[in-house]
Chain A
């Protein structure tokens, strides 16, 4: 079974600085999808960014980018120019590509604090 590991339960960053959240996963598949979700205090989960494993290029969404290292099974999230609104729980997630019906497997999350 696939597993997702987030080794940093908590992180903090100064406003306007850059922070990187780590995620590793275990799979025997060669093709799959990876996601980062954000959960602010409102509890509403929001998709931050997603990456298809067959794509070489790292995904980017404005201030958010990933460092996808397929051989190392690593999928870290970099947040640039951190803002107070970035404070949240961040979850890394994995999905097999073989069926649209398969659920996501989530990591345990990293709580990010942003210091003004």
Chain B
């Protein structure tokens, strides 16, 4: 079975810190995604990547950047964390190509910025 692993389940950081959220998938998927989940707002796309070193902005990229140096790993970076970035972050992947292919999700990282 496909596994998408997010490095931390819970994370607490201080305002202004640089934060790295890591995501690794083990099935050679082309596409990887970062979503943010907030109560009452659902899942909103931050960034996605369809190949190594490629990235595309989603709906809410402000305050975030990403890195994909290797196919299996997709990192979300908060350059200077702020309290409004306290949220649940979900990573997902899929093979690409077939458009009805489901997304495989990690278990999420609950980030608190104090």
Is A85 in the interface zone, CB < 8 Å from B? no
Is A25 in the interface zone, CB < 8 Å from B? no
Chain B residue at smallest Cβ distance from A102: B99
Whether B48 pairs with A103 at a CB distance below 8 angstroms is yes
Given the known interface contacts A99-B99, A101-B31, the answer about A43 and B107 at a Cβ–Cβ threshold of 8 Å is yes
> What is B's interface to A at a CB cutoff of 8 Å?
30-31, 33, 35, 40-45, 48, 50, 58, 88, 90, 92, 94-103, 105, 107-108
Q: Tell me if A's interface is mostly helix, strand, loop or mixed.
A: loop
- Size of the chain A interface, CB-CB below 8 angstroms: 28
Smallest Cβ distance from A115 to chain B, in angstroms?
22
Q: Which stretch, A11-19, A69-77, A90-98, touches the partner chain B?
A: A90-98
Top-9 shortest CB links A-B: A108-B42, A45-B105, A101-B50, A106-B43, A100-B96, A100-B97, A47-B102, A43-B108, A33-B100
Is A30 in the interface zone, CB < 8 Å from B? no
> In the docked arrangement, what's the CA distance between A90 and B51, Å?
29
Smallest Cβ distance from B106 to chain A, in angstroms?
8
| A109 surroundings in chain B (CB, below 8 A) | 42-43
Cross-chain pair count, CB within 8 angstroms: 61
Smallest Cβ distance from B90 to chain A, in angstroms?
7
CB contact between B105 and one of A44, A52, A97 (< 8 Å): that residue: A44
> What is A's interface to B at a CB cutoff of 8 Å?
6, 9, 33, 35, 37, 42-45, 47, 50, 52, 91, 95-109
Whether B96 pairs with A52 at a CB distance below 8 angstroms is no
> In the docked arrangement, what's the CA distance between A115 and B104, Å?
29
Whether A96 pairs with B99 at a CB distance below 8 angstroms is yes
> In the docked arrangement, what's the CA distance between A45 and B101, Å?
15
> In the docked arrangement, what's the CA distance between A44 and B105, Å?
7
Whether B42 pairs with A106 at a CB distance below 8 angstroms is yes
Whether B45 pairs with A50 at a CB distance below 8 angstroms is no
